Structure 1
Amino acid sequence: MKTFVVTLCLIVFPHTCVKLPPNFIKCNRHEPNFEECLIKAVNYDIAQMYKPHKKVRLPGVEPLELVSMSSNVDTNLIKLTERLKNCQFHGVSKGRFRTFVFDFQRRVISANANLPFVESSCDYKLNGTILGVALKGEGPSWLDFTSFNMSFYVTYDEVVKNNKTYVKIATCKVDGKPEKLHFRIDNLFDGDEEAGRRVNDIVNENWSVLYDDIKNEYLDIPGGMLATILKGFFSRVSLEELFD
Structure 2
Amino acid sequence: SVYSCSLFWRATVQSCVSSVVFPVKKIDEFAFSASTFQKCNRKEPDFDECVLTAAQGGLAQLTHPVKEISFSGLEPVEILELKIEAGHQTVAVDQNFKNCKLYGLSKTRLSKFRFDFDRNGVDVAGFIPEIKKVCEYELDGKVLLLPIKGEGTSTVILRDINSTLTTSFEETKKDGETYMKFKNTKFAFDPGFVSFNFENLFNGDKELGDNINKVLNDNWQDVFQDVKSGYEQALSLVAEGIINQFFTKLSAEDVFD
Normalising by structure 1, we get a TM-score of 0.91
| Post-superposition CA distance 1:51-77 (Å, at most 9, x none) | 121213444011111111123324122
Where do residues 53-68 of structure 1 align in structure 2 (5 Å cutoff)? 53-68=66-81
CA deviation after TM superposition for structure 1 residue 171, in Å? 0.6
More moved, 202-211 vs 128-137: 202-211
1:161 partnered with 2:174: yes
Normalising by structure 2, we get a TM-score of 0.86
CA deviation after TM superposition for structure 1 residue 85, in Å? 1.3
| Post-superposition CA distance 1:108-139 (Å, at most 9, x none) | 01110111122221111111111111100010
1:5 partnered with 2:2: no
Where do residues 152-191 of structure 1 align in structure 2 (5 Å cutoff)? 152-191=165-204
Q: Residue 15 of structure 1 aligns with which residue?
A: none
Q: Residue 28 of structure 2 aligns with which residue?
A: none
Q: Residue 114 of structure 1 aligns with which residue?
A: 127
State percent identity of aligned pairs. Answer: 31
In structure 2, distance between residues paired with 1:127 and 1:198 = 16
1:92 partnered with 2:105: yes
Give the letter for the 1:227 counterpart. Answer: E
Greater relative contact order (Cα 8 A, min sep 6): structure 1 or 2? 1
CA deviation after TM superposition for structure 1 residue 46, in Å? 0.7
Gaps of 5+ in 2: 1-14, 26-31
Q: Count matched residues.
A: 237
SS at match of 1:190: helix
Contact 2:83–2:96 (8 Å) recurs in 1: yes
In structure 2, distance between residues paired with 1:149 and 1:119 = 15
| Post-superposition CA distance 1:171-216 (Å, at most 9, x none) | 1001111111111111000011111111101111111122222222
Give the letter for the 1:42 counterpart. Answer: A
Contact 1:3–1:73 (8 Å) recurs in 2: no
SS at match of 1:50: coil
Give the letter for the 1:152 counterpart. Answer: L
Gaps of 5+ in 1: 12-18
Contact 2:52–2:110 (8 Å) recurs in 1: yes
Contact 1:114–1:147 (8 Å) recurs in 2: yes
SS at match of 1:235: helix
Where do residues 1-244 of structure 1 align in structure 2 (5 Å cutoff)? 2-9=16-23, 20-244=33-257
Contact 1:50–1:61 (8 Å) recurs in 2: yes
Contact 1:39–1:99 (8 Å) recurs in 2: yes
Give the letter for the 1:206 counterpart. Answer: N
In structure 2, distance between residues paired with 1:160 and 1:10 = 27
Contact 1:121–1:141 (8 Å) recurs in 2: yes
In structure 2, distance between residues paired with 1:59 and 1:165 = 25
Contact 1:20–1:241 (8 Å) recurs in 2: no
Flag the 1:2–1:233 CA change in 2: closer, same or farther, 3 A.
same
